[in-house]
Amino acid sequence: MRAAIYIRVSTEEQAVHGYSLGEQKEACRQRAAELGATQILQFADEGVSGAELDRPGLNALREAVGLEMVDTLVLRDPDRLSRKLSHQLYLSEELEKAGVRLEFLDFEWKTTPEGRLFYSIKGAIAEYEREKIRERVTRGKLQKARQGGIPINFDVYGYRYNPESGEVLLDDEEAAVVRRMFQWFISEDIGIAAVAGRLNEMQIPTRRRARSWRRQVVRQILTNPVFKGEWKYGKIDWRTGMPRPPESVVTIPVPPIVGRETWEKAQDKICSIGRLWAKKGRHKYLLSGLLTCADCGNTMGGSYISWWGKTARRYTCRRSGEASLQKGCSPAKVISADILEKAVWSRVKLFFWDPLGIAEEAALGYPVKLELEQESRSIVKRLERLEKGREAVLDSMAAGLVELDEKTKDRLADIRQSAERLKARKKELEHLLAASDEPAEINELHQRALFLLNKIDELAFEEKRALVRSLLSQITISGRPKKGTALKSLAGVIITIAVKNEEPEDAAFFRAILS
């Protein structure tokens, strides 16, 4: 007779019932030998819930049954097959159809109506017991969380968790990377993908030592409140799989990596990132994502269209297509991009025209000098590792262990390109650090600021756009160009500009009718 034994234990059951895989294995093998088994196959699942039907050991057992390798299956009790009654009945029927006899150590199995009824009742009790155990464990974890403890394994980039003491500590190296990610994102005119690209260029490893950072991973870090010191527990209801209401979620304090203000700035930028950093076509629009039509409520996007027989860059609130519920103004409001951008840019320059204020700010030095120094040291370490990697490849080639094939050439090329990118970034940091350390008189700085402001119109498009977005939060357009002047001026158009970082009652809003 060919027998198989199936043993399973989950961490919950081992704690409650006190038996382990070793105990089950010994007892089941002994019963199989008593039944006269000449061959015993063993299948096991350790730390796997009995509520799941897809289990490695169980799958292997079912495959062996399908290949007619098993005559008798020995288990401790029906709970080992499953803690769900429906799964127990399904598996029992499958084994019976394959001609496999079921033998339980703690349960008498009879293929009679009474035996099947008792089997069903025991299965229902097992399912009820599993739900009660899970509920007790979940309730205990929730209580621990409410008391400020960590109820489950805490595996978050930037932190280390000691399960014995229950203490959450900062991982200095990873925490420094998180701070840089937030600083890059909120202080530069870049998006999430650019942050991921910079991490990859600097060859900063992930927690799992993956080869590259993904955009979604960076987004998860930038939006996770744990980095401002708030870890959320119990966001999903285990019974329904649906999100819990915010008031039911427990907030556990942990050491913050970034300040609350920094985290909030990142969230504000992410909220507007869809409209401000959307992919642009070959025609560039300085005010894209900032314009709103006061008359219809639509945003005004850039469009290269023909108007009155002339094709050029325009801004319009008009929408087309079935997906657009709000079609915009009718007749369509269309404004020359060149004229509107020139008008707004002239106002932006007025806001920035404070050479003395710029000089005084520069004299204080860069507030992120420490971060610049840390990034520079990190780049030096990575350059050293790249050089060691290059030398290792060359040494292997010299020893005849590696041939100069296409794979080796690609590897050397990758090392060279990565080193070049890191050196370029290091050079940028050196310039920034030198500028922050360079002592200068206010008069000298004033002259430099004045010189730069006089050259502001010569900035590249991306630099101008960054300045506009750093200052303005919204531009509202009301009215429309007077007939016959749409291609020449903004007569009849009212432009209202809202400046960032201002309280509503004190906001520097201004209105001008341009002719």
Range scoring the smallest mean pLDDT among 102-106, 335-339, 451-455:
451-455
Q: Please, what is the angle between helix 172-187 and helix 192-201, to 10°?
A: 130
User: In CATH, what number is assigned to the domain containing residue 55?
Assistant: 3.40.50.1390
- Report the pLDDT averaged over residues 208-215: 81
Q: Give the total number of structural domains in the chain.
A: 4
Is the same domain home to 325 and 468?
Answer: yes
Would you state the pLDDT for residue 351? 79
Q: Do the domain assignments include residue 144?
A: no
Please name every residue paired with 512 in a beta bridge, in sequence order, or none if there are none.
495
Range scoring the smallest mean pLDDT among 19-33, 320-334, 395-409:
320-334
- pLDDT one-digit tens code per residue, 136-157: 655 665 565 566 566 566 788 9
Residue 220 has pLDDT above 70, yes or no: yes
Is the same domain home to 106 and 206?
Answer: no
Is the same domain home to 103 and 194?
Answer: no
- Report the pLDDT averaged over residues 425-429: 81
Q: Do the domain assignments include residue 282?
A: no
**Contact (CB, 8 A) for 337 and 311:** no
Would you state the pLDDT for residue 462? 81
- pLDDT interval class at 182 (50, 70, 90): very high
**What percentage of the chain has pLDDT greater than the value 90?**
11
Residue 358 has pLDDT above 70, yes or no: no
Is the same domain home to 340 and 469?
Answer: yes
43 Cβ contact partners less than 8 Å away, ≥ 6 residues apart? 4, 5, 6, 7, 57, 58, 60, 61, 64
Domain boundary residue among 408, 439, 470? Answer: 439
Catalytic residue (choose from 10, 92, 288, 418) = 10
Would you state the pLDDT for residue 93? 77
Domain boundary residue among 276, 308, 325? Answer: 276
- pLDDT interval class at 515 (50, 70, 90): very low
Cα separation, 27 vs 25, whole angstroms = 6
Cα separation, 244 vs 4, whole angstroms = 44
- Report the pLDDT averaged over residues 55-82: 88
Residue 366 has pLDDT above 50, yes or no: no
Cα separation, 488 vs 291, whole angstroms = 20
Is the same domain home to 262 and 307?
Answer: no
- pLDDT interval class at 82 (50, 70, 90): confident
**Contact (CB, 8 A) for 287 and 468:** yes
Is the same domain home to 388 and 499?
Answer: no
- pLDDT interval class at 15 (50, 70, 90): very low
Would you state the pLDDT for residue 139? 63
Is the same domain home to 328 and 403?
Answer: no
Of residues 461 and 442, the one with the higher pLDDT is: 461
Q: Do the domain assignments include residue 489?
A: yes
Q: Do the domain assignments include residue 262?
A: yes
- pLDDT interval class at 384 (50, 70, 90): confident
- Report the pLDDT averaged over residues 349-356: 76
User: In CATH, what number is assigned to the domain containing residue 218?
Assistant: 3.90.1750.20
Is the same domain home to 248 and 312?
Answer: no
In terms of DSSP H, where are the helices of 5-55? Answer: 11-17, 21-34
Q: Which domain holds residue 41?
A: 2-139
Would you state the pLDDT for residue 178? 93
Of residues 68 and 404, the one with the higher pLDDT is: 68
Of residues 255 and 372, the one with the higher pLDDT is: 255
Would you state the pLDDT for residue 479? 87
**Which of 2-16, 235-249, 276-290 has the highest average model confidence (pLDDT)?**
2-16
Is the same domain home to 342 and 382?
Answer: no
Range scoring the smallest mean pLDDT among 128-132, 400-404, 479-483:
128-132
- pLDDT one-digit tens code per residue, 440-449: 556 766 777 7
**Which of 257-266, 273-282, 405-414 has the highest average model confidence (pLDDT)?**
257-266
Residue 280 has pLDDT above 60, yes or no: no
Range scoring the smallest mean pLDDT among 60-69, 139-148, 246-255, 428-437:
139-148
**Contact (CB, 8 A) for 303 and 314:** yes
165 is catalytic: no
- Report the pLDDT averaged over residues 303-311: 73
Would you state the pLDDT for residue 499? 81
Mean pLDDT value across the chain = 77
Residue 494 has pLDDT above 90, yes or no: no
pTM over 0.75: no
Would you state the pLDDT for residue 20? 73
Cα separation, 509 vs 515, whole angstroms = 20
Is the same domain home to 102 and 165?
Answer: no
- Report the pLDDT averaged over residues 308-329: 73
Is the same domain home to 435 and 469?
Answer: no
DSSP assignment string, 404-423: --HHHHHHHHHHHHHHHHHH
Is the same domain home to 226 and 249?
Answer: yes
- pLDDT interval class at 509 (50, 70, 90): very low
- Reduced to 3 states (helix: H, G, I; strand: E, B; else coil), residue 284 is coil
- Reduced to 3 states (helix: H, G, I; strand: E, B; else coil), residue 82 is coil
Residue 404 has pLDDT above 50, yes or no: yes
In terms of DSSP H, where are the helices of 67-112? Answer: 78-81, 85-97
Q: Please, what is the angle between helix 56-66 and helix 85-97, to 10°?
A: 30
Q: Do the domain assignments include residue 145?
A: no
Tokens of 396: 């292997």
How many residues can be counted in the chain? Answer: 515
Would you state the pLDDT for residue 72? 93
**What percentage of the chain has pLDDT greater than the value 70?**
74
Q: Quick one: which of 468, 481, 470, 498 has its CA closest to 292?
A: 498
Q: Please, what is the angle between helix 172-187 and helix 369-398, to 10°?
A: 120
Residue 16 has pLDDT above 80, yes or no: no
Of residues 316 and 482, the one with the higher pLDDT is: 316
Q: Do the domain assignments include residue 398?
A: yes
Q: Do the domain assignments include residue 449?
A: no
Neighbours of 106 (CB within 10 A): 11
Measured at the CA of 125, the angle between CA 119 and CA 130, to 5 degrees, comes to 125
- How far is residue 109 from each of residues 70, 73, 117, 164, 247, measured CA to CA in Å? 18, 12, 11, 44, 49
Residue 309 has pLDDT above 70, yes or no: no
φ/ψ bin of 222: left (φ > 0), alpha (ψ from -120 to 50), beta (otherwise): alpha
Domain boundary residue among 411, 439, 467? Answer: 439
Q: Which residue, chain included where needed, has tokens 């269209």?
A: 305
- Report the pLDDT averaged over residues 37-51: 86
Cα separation, 238 vs 233, whole angstroms = 12
Q: Do the domain assignments include residue 284?
A: no
Q: What does DSSP say about strands 159-162 and 167-170: parallel, antiparallel, or unpaired?
A: antiparallel
Would you state the pLDDT for residue 95? 86
- pLDDT interval class at 245 (50, 70, 90): confident
